[in-house]
Structure 1
Amino acid sequence: MSLMSHAVQHYRKLPAPTTRSIRTERDLPVPMRDGTRLLADRWAPRRGPEGLPTALVRTPYEHRGLHDRTIARPLAERGFQVISVAMRAGAGGAADPLRKEYEDGLDVIAWIIAQPWFGGSLVPAGPNHLGGAQWAVAADAPPQVKAMVPAAASMAADVLPDFSVPASLVGGWYDAFLPGQVRDFAALQAAGRHPRLTIGPWAHDDTARAAVAETLDFALPLALGRIPAERAAVRLYVMGEEAWRDFDSWPPQGYKEKRVLLGADGSLSVKHREGTVGFRYDPDDPTPTLGGHGIDRAGKADNIWLEARPDVLTFTTDVLTRDFEVVGHVNAAIRFRSTRPTANVFVRLCDVDPLGRSWNVCDGLTRVTEATEAQTVPVDLWPTAYRFATGHRIRVQVSSGDVPDRHGRGADLDAADQEVHCGGDHPSTITLPIRPAA
């Protein structure tokens, strides 16, 4: 096993390889129905049984280099043969690129099934757009497709009625694509399917790592005609507790929605503390991204310097006298007005530890139009699972920027004075799915 292969095993927390000797066939032509030929690479053990399950990786990215080392080779070393296909750039200029992606996916699968080395079972694999490529063919997948592990991708609504492939969805609490993952899981459960869901304390890249491991844990046994190791339908990493927990559904049962009020005095409580607080948003010095759910700068970070900016409002509870868990969907309703017709409302939930450090838990942004009129702005924050410990405090940030990660549609070229109204008949609130920790 090469040094790179060993490093990938360690970083991705993969089981030991079953072989270290892999052969690669390059640039196999794969015909499409419109006459286009895509190029594929095949990875397989040099020695060993014929007819291993096939993992199909369709990617719009460079299908060699990094993808070879982090997806194709790790799977080929652990029980799969792997076909890595470069998808056509821009869907070949097609007027309907999603349709072309769907057709190409089915054509690639048909080509694989017709090959003499195909052993009868196929698993679409890979995160990000690769996960989207899995969903593109899911509804019409032939019976040779035994399982799929989509990560960082969302299912189209028209897939659900005809979807029957066993699926294990993988997401990260700080991954940009998490809302789609949990929405897909809930839809599949509601439709009577039996998917499973794993969400870890990961940003985007670590979610991709976890998807490869789950392909081995969940999809490979099914491709071999076996049953994966038994576990609950939902496995969540509860941050703050720093432990994995199992649940039967998403969102988990047993958590009650609690509406908490933002107070004009900076408090966060069940009491009405009426008044208006404000800040000035300046596009020449925009409120910057710090941690969160982006692709490149995501994750957990100490927000204390961000909260010291004059364009960030904070609302904080008293010190907690017991542990509380927040698990599920978090929503805010901010009574807002701006001197500009369009504006962003950014809301972030934080955990303030006894040292005063403010750690971001989840956040969301809503673009507001007709913002010069006072209105209650709904903001959907990312789902989360977090334990707020005794001695900590819960904090909510309100601002108008998350630049450059999320800036709404269009650019705000002029400074604006923003107002947040608290208390009274139209309070600003955050709703938490919460319960005291056991």
Structure 2
Amino acid sequence: MTGEPVKRGFLGATLDYAGSRYVNAGPEQCSYTTQAVQIPMSDGVKLAADFYDPELQDSQKPLGLIMVQCCYGRGAGISFLNARVFVARGYRALFVSTRGTHGSEGTFSPGINEASDSQDIVKWMRQQSWYPGTFATMGASYLGYSQWALLRDPPADCVAAVIPVGPHDLALHVWKTGSFRLDRASWSDSMATPEEERGSFLGRLSKLPGLSFLSSSGLEKAIAGLPLEASLQEYFKDRAPWLFDYLAHPDVDDPYWITKRQQAALESATIPILLVSGWYDAFEPQTMQQYKRLSERGVDVSLVVGPWTHIQGCGLRSIPETMDFFAQHLAKTGEYGRSRARIFVTGAEEWRSMPTWPPNTESKMLYLQDATGLDSELPAQDVAPASFIFDPRDPTPSIGGSQLFAGGRVDDSIYGGRSDVLAFTSQTLLEDLEVLGAPSVQLSHSSDPPFADLFLRLSEVDSNGVSHNISEMYQALDPTRDTSRSLHLDLTDCAHRFKAGTRIRLIVAGGSFPMYARNLGTEEDRVRSDKTIIQTHKITIAAGVSRLILPVSVPV
């Protein structure tokens, strides 16, 4: 230990009280002390941390120990959600700053040291007089990634984990679609900006405007520049070197990504795990993959999915579930008492308890009819193909959806009026239709030139003609593909009730910028070239070869 325990003061107690009411945490059980510590790693680096200890009656014992690794600081906001709210209810917590961040020695390099450092933290904890013999982990987003890094070689004394909106595979997020995910630039900007310039990370996020996930510091201009890599290098200079490593390794199977992919944790984890996600979270596909694989292996895994963005899903809305989960699996004082899958159904605007996710469904086909129609009947045999043009110099904009910092459910009606977008819309529904699972699209598609991307979105059009997004996907297309064969493209999971009186809309575009690096229409590297070619997309509709496939609830 490197510091003396400090009792919580009046201001801290006031903030904890207000925060607890906001997150519905219930009444406090005690106050606590905070002690600064330095944790030695096996290579000599020391990590800065805060040890939180509840002030209990002599006859009481702490309910358990929660370990958190965090790269975003240990300030009031983030420590409340990941430590203080639990410590004030009887738990101990060790809140550790990731290597190279917020007082911890070493160099921050995403995905490089989390696996080894987390094991060293556990070894150090076991040597402390306050160590109870077992612990749980928690933390959202990159804090969740750090948990997966630990669980690839799970310590026997780690008994539970709570992982909200946390990826296990950095490569999949960055390059799975075949196009570079540009939120890596904005995230890297936040991580590489000195603390005294940016303030707290959460404070920086709260200032991000409108639909842009970019700061106002010039990053927006840098991302819009071509060539992309050179434009970003001019902006970042020698900051965030990992960002340029990402750009240099577009193949997710490249050995470069080995340390950054924690797929092994999905095969080795055996402890109870609570997963939390949001329908508009950037990492929702990975959370669904985690839940599916752990369930297949018989792991005690629970899932909560709300109508949330990434930021909303980081713990603000799921503290009650986390409290109950720890009561059963760490403190052994209660029961989780919830279904394996607790799902919010948008449209119906209700929570639904399910034994698993996705539930049993049946497929409903809606065929593209012409340049604007969508119907359950096959289209006419002589219907002409639909087409649109994508201009890399004036790319289709990202509006809401799974953007990391500023996505969510939004009015995306503007897509219906753009010349670079096709919006296929059904007739008004005469009865409710509930979609539960991952919609998919079969598309007979070609482009000239063959270098092109596709952005697909499922939306709902209300009785006033206003459209709101539900699910989406993005894919860079293989230019050597056989265009005589239809593409099969899966959108992200959703749970939505289209009510009678609404319409179903499928949006098809050639880009979503600045969420993804645009396809330049050439065989040259999209991050290193400034040459662009306008791309003409054509979709064949005749004979029902292009269709939207919805997983709809099975009538009881």
Normalising by the residue count of structure 2, what TM-score does the alignment of the two structures yield?
0.73
Alignment equivalent of 1:320, drawn from 412, 426, 429: 429
Corresponding residue to 1:42 among 43, 47, 51: 51
Aligned to 1:237: 344
Q: Tell me the equivalent position of 1:266.
A: 372
- Which residue does the alignment assign to 1:133? 146
Query: What is the CA deviation profile of residues 280-302 of structure 1, one whole-angstrom value per residue up to 9, with x for unaligned ones?
Result: 22233221111101111211011
Q: What residue in structure 2 maps to residue 24 of structure 1?
A: 34
Greater CA drift, 229-238 or 372-381: 372-381
1:399 aligns with 2:399: no
Deviation per CA, 1:390-425: give whole Å up to 9, x if none: 111111111112111123673585252432323236
Q: What corresponds to 1:85 in structure 2? A: 96
The farther-off stretch of 419-428 and 269-278 is 419-428
How far residue 374 of structure 1 moved from its aligned partner, in angstroms, is 3.8
The structural deviation recorded for 1:339 is 2.4
Report the counterpart of residue 4 of structure 1 in structure 2.
15
RMSD between superposed Cα atoms in Å: 2.5
Give the whole-Å Cα distance in 1 for the aligned partners of 2:15 and 2:514. Answer: 33
Partners of 1:386 and 1:250 in 2: CA distance: 14
Q: Per-residue deviation at 1:264? A: 1.5
> Gaps spanning 5+ residues in structure 2: where?
1-11, 169-261, 520-525
The 1:98/1:204 distance shift into structure 2, 3 A limit, reads closer
Give, in whole Å, the separation in 1 of the partners of 2:111 and 2:270: 21
Aligned partner of residue 44 in structure 1, secondary structure:
strand
Which stretch shifts more, 425-434 or 365-374?
Answer: 365-374
Residue 373 of structure 1 and its aligned partner are, at CA, apart by: 7.2
Give the letter aligned to residue 296 of structure 1.
F
Which letter does structure 1 place at the counterpart of 2:542?
A: G
422-431 or 360-369: bigger deviation: 422-431
1:61 to 40, 64, 72: 72
Take 2:379 and 2:490, find their aligned partners in 1: how far apart are those partners? 22
CA contact (8 A) 1:262 1:423 kept: yes
Q: Deviations over 1:282-341 (max 9, x none)?
A: 233221111101111211011112321111111111111110100011111222222234
The answer to whether the aligner puts 1:340 opposite 2:449 as a matched pair is: yes
What whole-Å deviation, never above 9, does each CA across 1:354-385 have from its counterpart, x for those lacking one?
11111100111111131797463333211000
Q: Secondary structure at the match of 1:148?
A: strand
Which 10-residue stretch deviates more, 261-270 or 391-400?
Answer: 261-270
Superimposed CA distance per residue, residues 220-248 of structure 1 (whole angstroms, 9 cap, x where no aligned partner) = 33211245232221110000000111111
Cα distance change of structure 1 residues 422 and 3 upon mapping to structure 2, 3 Å threshold: farther
Q: Which of the residues 202, 220, 223 maps onto 2:327?
A: 220
- Measured in 1, the distance between the counterparts of 2:394 and 2:155 equals 54
SS for the counterpart of 2:393 is coil
Partner of 2:396: 287
Q: 300, 303, 317: which is aligned to 2:409?
A: 300
1:385 aligns with 2:499: no
- Give the aligned partner of residue 422 of structure 1: 540
TM alignment of 1:161-240, pairs within 5 A = 161-208=267-314, 209-240=316-347
Q: CA separation in 1, counterparts of 2:34 and 2:163? A: 25
Quickly say closer, same or farther: Cα 1:372–1:272, change in 2 above 3 A: same
Contact 1:23/1:45, CA 8 A, preserved across alignment: yes
Change (3 A) 1:35 1:89: same
Q: Hey, what's the Cα distance between the residues in 2 that align with 1:213 and 1:310?
A: 46
Deviation track 1:38-89 (CA, whole Å, cap 9, x = no partner) reads: 1111122244444441111101222334322332222222232111111113
Q: Which amino acid in the other structure matches residue 142 of structure 1?
A: P
Distance of 1:268 and 1:112 partners within structure 2: 59
Code of the aligned partner of 1:429: R
Question: What is the DSSP-based 3-state SS (H/G/I as helix, E as strand, rest coil) of the residue aligned with 1:313?
Answer: strand
Deviation at 1:15, TM superposition (A): 2.1
Distance 1:381 1:85 in 2: 37
1:131-156 residue CA offsets vs partner (Å, 9 max, x unmatched): 11111122433333221111222443
Structure 1 Cα separation of the partners of residues 19 and 38 of structure 2 = 29
Verify the 8 A CA contact 2:270 2:300 in the aligned structure 1.
no
Output the amino acid matched with 2:513: V
Work out whether residues 50 and 119 of structure 1, in 8 Å CA contact, stay in contact via their aligned partners in 2: no
Correspondence for 2:472 among 363, 368, 383: 363
Amino acid at match of 1:407: A
The CA deviation at 1:126 is 0.6
Question: Structure 1 residue 437: deviation in Å?
Answer: 6.9
Structure 2 residue 354 is matched with structure 1 residue 250: no
Structure with the higher helix share, 1 or 2: 2
1:182–1:266 CA distance, 2 compared to 1 (3 A): same
Cα distance change of structure 1 residues 132 and 342 upon mapping to structure 2, 3 Å threshold: same
The match for 1:111 is 124
Deviation at 1:195, TM superposition (A): 0.9
Equivalents in 2 of 1:362, 1:258: separation in Å?
16
2:371–2:422 Cα contact (<8 Å) kept: no
2:352 aligned partner, one-letter code: R
Q: Could you say which structure has the higher strand fraction?
A: 1
| Contact in 2 for aligned 1:336/1:418 (Cα 8 Å) | no
Q: Which sits farther off after the overlay, 261-270 or 167-176?
A: 261-270
Shift of residue 205, structure 1, vs aligned partner: 1.1
2:396 and 2:420 in contact (8 A); partners too: yes
d(CA) in 1 for partners of 2:495 and 2:138?
27
Contact 2:362 2:552 in 1 (8 A): yes
Q: Which amino acid aligns with 1:231?
A: R
Q: Tell me if the contact between 1:232 and 1:246 (Cα under 8 Å) persists in the aligned partners.
A: yes
Name the amino acid aligned to 1:233.
Answer: R
- Contact 1:332–1:430 (Cα < 8 Å) also in 2: yes
Q: Is the 8 A contact 1:138 1:165 kept in 2?
A: no
Please say if residues 159 and 271 of structure 2, whose CA atoms lie closer than 8 Å, have aligned partners that are also in contact. yes
Cα deviation for residue 189 of structure 1 reads: 1.2
**Cα shift readout 1:168-199 (whole Å, capped 9, x = no counterpart):** 11111000111111111111111122211111
Q: Percent identity?
A: 29
What are the Cα deviations for residues 264-285 of structure 1, in whole angstroms up to 9, with x where unaligned? Answer: 2411113224321222222332
- Counterpart AA for 1:252: P
